[in-house]
């Protein structure tokens, strides 16, 4: 048995949407008591750390409805069924930024919110960026603006609260550690 395993007694599906689904599991806790766990299922995601030849980090600014505000984030997107994360990474980079790359290297993967969601995000680093003519375009409900910033500018944007999400903060730390 896994340590502290919580055995499923019953699963109640609550909602199935286009991006996420929600279920409530009734579980047997390690002490034999019963408990409930609210669980968001997510298909998983990729995010791409992309530096231009001029040493600028590629960001996209977009409106995030959950927070009712715009955020500046590294390019990212969710996995399509059956798609390899590295393929998703190349597709999202092209769609959101118009860049393609010579090499897409896996950096790490992590859960974003293990307390209530199974979202697992794969971080890639895109090397050898070049602008593509007639690049693939965004999904019809996506509106993003491309930004390219130095690491110093990114640090200021983070202090100002415009860069404000886990994957982008990760990317900035990764680049600082790499360039030290």
- Give 22 or 135: the residue with its C-beta nearer to a second copy: 22
The helix (H) or strand (E) run that includes residue 78 is strand 76-78
Query: Taking CB under 8 A as the rule, does residue 94 contact a second copy?
Result: no
Which residues, numbered 9-38, are part of the site for a second copy (CB under 8 A)? 14-15, 17-20, 22, 24-25, 27, 29-31, 33, 35-38
**Among the listed residues 39, 87, 136, 155, the single contact to a second copy using CB under 8 A:** 39
Query: Taking CB under 8 A as the rule, does residue 141 contact a second copy?
Result: yes
CA angle 57, 58, 63 (to 5 degrees): 125
Task: Select which of 54, 103, 133, 140 is catalytic.
Answer: 140
Query: Taking CB under 8 A as the rule, does residue 130 contact a second copy?
Result: no
- Give 14 or 156: the residue with its C-beta nearer to a second copy: 14
Query: Taking CB under 8 A as the rule, does residue 83 contact a second copy?
Result: no
Starting at the earlier edge strand, list the strands of the sheet with 7-16: 7-16, 21-28, 34-41
What is the three-class DSSP state of 52? coil
Which tokens sit at 37?
Answer: 């766990």
Question: CB 84 → a second copy: shortest distance, Å?
Answer: 19
Query: Taking CB under 8 A as the rule, does residue 109 contact a second copy?
Result: yes
**Among the listed residues 28, 71, 98, 136, the single contact to a second copy using CB under 8 A:** 71
**Binding-site entries for Mg(2+):** 76, 92, 96, 142
Which tokens sit at 126?
Answer: 């895109």
Most distant CA pair in the chain, distance? 61
140 by Cβ neighbours in 10 Å (0-12 / 13-18 / 19+) ranks as exposed
148 is catalytic: no
- Give 136 or 175: the residue with its C-beta nearer to a second copy: 175
> In degrees rounded to 5, what are phi and psi of residue 173?
-65, -40
- Give 130 or 176: the residue with its C-beta nearer to a second copy: 176
- Dist CA 50 CA 68 (whole Å): 26
Catalytic residues: 140
């Amino acid at each position: 048995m896994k340590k502290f395993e919580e055995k499923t007694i019953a699963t109640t599906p609550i909602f199935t949407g286009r991006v996420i689904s929600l279920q409530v599991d009734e579980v047997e806790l390690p002490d034999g008591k019963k408990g409930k766990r609210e669980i968001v299922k997510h298909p998983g995601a990729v995010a791409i750390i992309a530096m231009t030849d001029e040493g600028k980090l590629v960001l996209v600014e977009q409106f995030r409805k959950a927070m009712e505000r715009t955020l500046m984030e590294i390019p990212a997107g969710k996995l399509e069924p059956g798609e390899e994360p590295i393929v998703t990474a190349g597709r999202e980079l092209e769609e959101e930024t118009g860049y393609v790359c010579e090499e897409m290297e896996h950096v790490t993967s992590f859960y974003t919110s293990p307390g209530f969601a199974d979202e697992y995000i794969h971080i890639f680093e895109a090397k050898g960026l070049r602008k593509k003519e007639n690049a693939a375009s965004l999904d019809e409900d996506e509106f993003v603006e491309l930004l390219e910033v130095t690491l110093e500018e990114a640090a200021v944007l983070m202090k100002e609260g415009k860069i404000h999400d886990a994957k982008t903060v990760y990317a900035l730390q990764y680049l600082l550690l790499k360039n030290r």
